[in-house]
């Protein structure tokens, strides 16, 4: 059950995060920013994916520990 929760969380992130990144990308294209802003955007994208996946895994692990402790 724990693996299923982690899988659904990661799949959810793989749907919502790309939509968010596309919206930000569209805004950046429309505003014609400097190279620094583009650099920060391309650093932001993979780091956000990594941190979000880690948060989902840790959040589900903590929930499992709480439910196991109650039982």
The tens digit of pLDDT for each residue in 23-57 reads 999 999 999 999 999 999 999 999 999 998 898 88
Most confident of 2-6, 11-15, 25-29, 49-53: 25-29
Residues of the domain holding 39: 2-70
Q: Give buried/exposed letters for 47-71 (b at 16+ CB in 10 A, else e).
A: eebeebbeebeeebeeeeeeeeeee
pLDDT for 71: 59
pLDDT for 9: 82
Mean predicted lDDT score pLDDT of the chain: 88
pTM to 2 decimal places: 0.74
> Structurally, how many domains does the chain consist of?
1
Residue 67 has pLDDT above 80, yes or no: no
Within its chain, how far is the Cα of 45 from the centroid? 9
């Amino acid at each position: 059950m724990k693996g299923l929760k982690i899988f659904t969380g990661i799949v959810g992130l793989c749907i919502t995060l790309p939509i968010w990144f596309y919206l930000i990308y569209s805004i950046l294209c429309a505003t014609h920013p400097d190279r620094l802003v583009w650099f920060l955007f391309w650093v932001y994208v993979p780091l956000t994916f990594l941190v979000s996946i880690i948060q989902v895994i840790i959040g589900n692990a903590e929930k499992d520990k709480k439910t196991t402790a109650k039982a």
